[in-house]
Amino acid sequence: MPERDEANLLALLDAARRIRRYVSEVSSADEFGSNELVFDATLMNLVVVGEMVSRLTPELRTQHPEIDWQRVKDMRNLIAHDYLGIDAEEVWQICQSDVPLLEAQLEAILRQVQAHKQ
């Protein structure tokens, strides 16, 4: 695996962890949507996640079909191009269900990468 894939996976994991940390500061979708700092920081890190996915090699993405890479990139594009139309409830749900799953999947991929290097 190219070094850049590992670096991008680490950046992806860092952004996913930041998202989880930020949303842990609020207790509901309503509070999430009204807390500008948490909402904006979360959206920025969702953009980072999508950007890092774009930087992964096609080989890595093909080797890990358990992650819907296109959906992750699509979320980034939605945020970047339709910022004012973002539905806080939808983003909240993504942060509650999809981001923890993505985090676990990235951790598993990185464990495989690190085991393969030894």
Q: Which tokens go with 41?
A: 């920081």
The total number of structural domains that make up the chain: 1
Query: Is the confidence at residue 3, as pLDDT, over 90?
Result: no
Closest Cα partner for 95 from 34, 11, 10, 27? 27
Q: Give 22-71 pLDDT, tens digit per residue.
A: 999 999 999 999 999 999 999 999 999 999 999 999 999 999 999 999 99
What is the pLDDT, as a whole number, of residue 103? 97
Provide the pLDDT for residue 85: 82
**Residue 27 backbone phi and psi in degrees, to 5:** -115, 0
Instruction: Give this prediction's pTM.
Output: 0.91
Structural domain harbouring 23? 3-117
Q: Are residues 43 and 86 in contact, defined by beta-carbon separation less than 8 angstroms?
A: yes
